[in-house]
Amino acid sequence: MYKRVRLKDTVEVPPKHLADVTDERVKALLQDKLEGRMDEDVGSVVSVIEVHDIGEGAVLHNRPGVYYEAEFDALTYDPDMQEVADGTVVETVEFGAFVGIGPVDGLLHVSQITTSTSRSTGRTSSSPPRTPTRPSAWTTPSGSAS
């Protein structure tokens, strides 16, 4: 499920941008840092939408940048286990199929597809079928399971 959430995070502003600590600059730095990442509490961060507040900067010993705590809105995708969602088959394997659902891939186990045993080719179709799916596990674009 997609959600708009209010988050806080610390962002490092490099020395070359210290004269330009604006909402737009902090948003760009947050986008580079967070978009495409999976967070245990909010799911996968799809996009940083808007920066609401930038706190006071802090300088750390032996670090060139200045660290600011920022409050911002983000669009996240946090699928629930056993949630039914539309997806595209990304890859088939012997034990099932990986289905692309938004910014994450879900594992559709062979036991959820059919009651008979079938062999997969291990190839990805040039025109992947769309299928409603209820994945038993989620993976991020980097491949880690959640």
CATH of 2-77 given 3.30.1490.120, 1.10.10.10, 2.120.10.10, 3.40.50.720: 3.30.1490.120
Amino acid at 133: T
DSSP for residue 145 = B
Which residues 6+ apart lie within 8 Å of 129 measured at CB? 88, 89
Residue 125 pLDDT greater than 50, yes or no: no
Q: Residue 37's closest CA among 146, 143, 107, 140?
A: 140
Burial (CB < 10 A; 0-12, 13-18, 19+), residue 64, is: exposed
Give residue for tokens 């286990």: 81
What does the block give as tokens for 42? 């909010």
* Mean pLDDT, range 88-105, rounded to an integer: 85
Residue 51 pLDDT greater than 90, yes or no: yes
Residue 114 CA to residue 76 CA, distance in Å, equals: 32
* Mean pLDDT, range 124-134, rounded to an integer: 54
pLDDT in tens, 58-70: 999 888 999 999 9
The model carries a pTM of 0.66
Q: Which residue ranges make up each domain of the chain?
A: 2-77, 85-139
Categorise residue 7: left if φ over 0, alpha if ψ from -120 to 50, beta otherwise: beta
Amino acid at 25: R
What percent of the chain shows pLDDT beyond 90?
A: 37
**Residue 43's pLDDT is what?**
86
